[in-house]
Amino acid sequence: GKLGIALVGLGGYATGQLGPALLQTEHCYLAGIVTGSPDKIPAWKEKYKIPDKNIYSYDNYDSIRNNPDIDIVYVVLPNNMHAEYSIRAFQAGKHVVSEKPMAITVADCDRMIAAAKKADRQLSVGYRLHFDPFNKEMMRLGTQKVYGDLQKIRGGFGFKAEAGQWRLSKEYAGGGPLMDVGIYVVQGMCYTSGMEPIAVTAIEGQKTDPARFKDVEQSLSWKFDFPGNIVGEGEATYDGSMNYLTATAEKGQFELKPAYNYGGQKGTTPEGAMNFTPVNQQAKQMDAFALALKNKTRSIVPGEMGKRDVKYLQAIYEAMRTGKKVEIR
């Protein structure tokens, strides 16, 4: 049968993407919800046919332990809450998907991984682009050196973040656009090259709106050194729109623009346009995890990858703060 997923936090992403995707999944379904907003319950109950016994508040969250309908808890809360709610789900004996970034500190990532291990459950991260055919093609072209050795990867992701949301709070988000959207660029560079960066330099962008960005960076850019003299130039912003992942190799350039959206990727290679049938990325991502659990194999986007990326994000911030090149170990 299908594995049951409970979504924790019914905000924009859960409501707009994950819930609807769970109507298209083959190996899992939306079995339950956890919310602090009772007014949201009726619409979810009706749309997804969720029985009352599978509807939780933050107060009785831990009693999810006694509910055999729930196999997987999917944490879709602000970034600083991923660790606590994932760890409590492991203590309740459930498998966990945490949204990105997995946590706001490496120490929290370690605690999450340890809790998964102790419970003998799996931790997966909401890295939906590993299931997108256009981004998978970037991985193939880069790691199989289809156009020769890579020389450089550039990427940028940004949007205009309005005031008054947790994304602009260092406490809740752990940082600014780097934590929220720069992480996609870091991911893109790593999966396109199949490599891990060894050092980084970074520069904070100018704050043209210091009131809105009193807590976090408005924008920043960074430069990774990858093995073999491959350079990774990334940028992230909350002050305008950008969305690309461009790889330069010996025999030409391949790129996605846009690269990171829920759909609508456009890709080009030295031989012309990429041509793939779009998929529902979130449905593929959740089905792949459910299938891994059923088959007792590992998530391809595990907690260790989430931790690795938080380590890179912290190294970028350290480089930005110090103005120095930071070695990544």
Catalytic residue among 29, 56, 127, 184: 184
User: x-or-dash pattern for ligand NAD, window 150-189, by CB under 6 A?
Assistant: ----------------x-------------x---------
Options 78, 177, 205, 267; binder of ligand NAD; rule CB under 6 A: 78
For residue 48, give the H/E element and its range: helix 41-48
Q: Read off the amino acid at residue 226.
A: F
13 is catalytic: no
Tell the smallest beta-carbon distance from residue 101 to ligand NAD (Å).
7
Which among 6-14, 61-69, 305-313, 317-325 is the span making contact with ligand NAD, rule CB under 6 A? 6-14
Calpha distance 223→201 (Å, rounded): 5
The contacts of residue 205 (CB under 8 Å, 6+ apart) are: 217, 218, 219, 220, 221, 237, 239
Tell the smallest beta-carbon distance from residue 313 to ligand NAD (Å).
12
Q: Report yes or no: 230 and 195 within 8 Å, Cβ to Cβ.
A: yes
Alpha-carbon Rg for the chain, nearest whole angstrom, is: 20
Q: Report yes or no: 131 and 283 within 8 Å, Cβ to Cβ.
A: no
- Closer CB to ligand NAD, 77 or 326, in the complex: 77
Tell the smallest beta-carbon distance from residue 153 to ligand NAD (Å).
21
Options 71, 99, 235, 309; binder of ligand NAD; rule CB under 6 A: 99
Tokens 């720069």, residue located: 182
For residue 55, give the H/E element and its range: strand 55-56
Options 4, 19, 32, 126; binder of ligand NAD; rule CB under 6 A: 126
100 is catalytic: yes
Give whole-number Cα distances, 281 to 109, 117, 154, in Å: 24, 27, 23
Tell the smallest beta-carbon distance from residue 224 to ligand NAD (Å).
22
- Closer CB to ligand NAD, 87 or 150, in the complex: 87
- Closer CB to ligand NAD, 14 or 293, in the complex: 14
Residue nearest to ligand NAD (CB): 11
User: x-or-dash pattern for ligand NAD, window 237-276, by CB under 6 A?
Assistant: ----------------------------------------
- Closer CB to ligand NAD, 15 or 151, in the complex: 15
Q: By rule CB under 6 A, what count of residues binds ligand NAD?
A: 18
Mapped onto helix, strand or coil, the DSSP state of residue 10 is coil
Options 31, 77, 96, 102; binder of ligand NAD; rule CB under 6 A: 77
Calpha distance 44→33 (Å, rounded): 8
Catalytic residue among 29, 48, 100, 127: 100
User: What strands lie across the sheet with 219-226, from one edge to the other?
Assistant: 272-273, 267-269, 252-256, 239-249, 150-160, 230-237, 219-226, 199-204, 326-327
The contacts of residue 1 (CB under 8 Å, 6+ apart) are: none
Task: Give catalytic residues, as residue numbers.
Answer: 100, 184
Residues of this chain that interact with ligand NAD (CB under 6 A) are 9-14, 36-37, 76-79, 99-100, 126, 128, 166, 180
